[in-house]
Amino acid sequence: MPKIRTLKTYLLAILVFCSFYFLGIFDHIFATPFRKFQWPPYVNVNEQVDLRMRGLRSNILYENDWASVYHHRLEPHSQLCAEGHYPLVLIAVKSAVANFDRRAMIRQLWGKERRRNTTLLIATVFVVGRSVEDSVNLKAEQENDRHGDLLMGDYLDAYGNNTLKLISALQFAVEQCDAGVSYVLLVDDDYHVSIRNLVFMLLGSSTTANEDLYAGYRFDSSPFRSRWNKHYVPLSVYPFSSYPPYISAGAVVLSRQTAKRMFYASHYLRYYPFDDIFAGIMAHILGIEPTHDGNFRFWQSWSYNPGDYLDVVAAHGFADLDLMRRAFLDSEADVSVSYSHPSPHPVFVATLKIQGLAPVDRLIKLQHARALQHQSRYHRIDEPSLAAWIKLIRLVVQKRPVRKWTWRSNDCKTKIEIDYAICSQDFTVVNDVCTIDASTIKQP
């Protein structure tokens, strides 16, 4: 009996040890506290970056050889970021080289060139690696011949090389577009992007292109230590208890200055395979604080409701091309609502128009038609759309410090003033036309 008890004790001890080992508990115990964070090769990175920012040469050797990044198997056409053709925002889409359909859809939707008057707002480049299949590489070459927007580095297109795609995008932004591009959006090809909200965000930002901006969905997390996790990180690769704060790599906005500083810093810091963590390490060492923006959505929604995406800049979970198209059309279209009141009251149509790019261009346009037959021209809505419309009105009110807009109707040339109540759902048309309480309105 004593021998059996001893054997059971040994087996239990082995079981506990193995559990601790495979669950990563030992790694958590022996991890170095983050307050002691430093990153090899332990040089003064800020000093070297300052030299490069002033156009001077570095006085130490590089840690990383980015030869595979600098050698481009495919490059965008020369007019992209050519002199006099600089966009406000360069969108660098990290795409798997075989995702031809996604790139085609993005070109039709949020990746197409946008202008406001003579100002180029966005230009898009797709960052890919080379495939192990020659047929895929050949198809990519043909794609670039047609569209001229592929940047292919001389490295394998794989998840573990996403950091190389990050460096490729930064290099292109800094060396090809630095003179005129104000901001860079790094984004994955399974994201929905609202260009209107993106430009509105940047033009309304207090941070200029010549200041540091590193924004998106912020994480404060720790490495995965469980050996059963596909993202397992051993202490030999990352010895610290937590990561520096970082922005999810799915969608990241950088100012021109931050893009340059990160690109220069990447030469002097030990390579890390996860691109968002590597960017967080660079930001931490450079003293750049990651800015969380709730309008960047990282977590995929299991159901799509357009009312939930009215203020979104970028959202994850749109690998389905039909869903990506639907989200784009919903974000671009005017939100229209029609109500019919008991005769002889008119049919009212309220439309939110986000026509411009600054808060002053956001307005509520109210049209009215005296004849009921006109209501067929307008979009009838269901309850979720009504809620979305009310949410959109309140969003616009909160974005602008004043509560009153003036609009002259295209139809009857009457001046309409709309006074908003932020804390309720009602509004008033002052011109003796109608007073509406949105909570009591019945659908037509």
- The string of DSSP letters for 129-147 reads EE-SSHHHHHHHHHHHHHH
Q: Which two tokens stand for residue 333?
A: 């279209």
Chain centroid, CA 127 distance in Å: 16
Q: Which two tokens stand for residue 101?
A: 């359909």
> In a structure prediction context, what are the per-residue pLDDT tens digits for the chain, which is 444 residues long?
666 777 777 888 888 888 877 888 888 888 999 999 999 999 999 999 999 999 998 888 899 888 878 888 899 987 777 766 788 899 999 999 999 999 999 999 999 888 776 678 899 999 999 999 999 999 999 999 999 999 999 999 999 899 999 999 999 999 888 767 899 999 999 999 998 889 888 887 788 889 999 999 999 999 998 888 888 999 999 999 999 999 999 999 999 999 999 999 999 999 999 999 999 999 999 999 999 999 999 876 656 676 667 778 999 999 999 999 988 887 775 433 332 333 333 333 333 333 332 222 233 333 222 222 233 333 333 333 444 444 444 444 444 433 333 333 333 333 333 333 222 333 333 333 333 333 333 332
- Residue 122 φ then ψ, to 5°: -135, 150
Crossing angle for the helix pair 162-175 and 256-265, to the nearest 10 degrees: 120
CA distance 150 to 183: 19
Q: CA 22 → CA 243, 273, 441, distances in Å? A: 21, 22, 60
Residue type (1 letter), 248: S
Write a three-state SS string for 38-77.
CCCCCCCHHHHHHHHHCCCCCCCCCCCCCHHHHCEEECCC
- Residue 437 φ then ψ, to 5°: -110, 105
CA distance 92 to 193: 12
- Alpha-carbon Rg for the chain, nearest whole angstrom, is 27
Which residue shows structure tokens 């011949």? 145
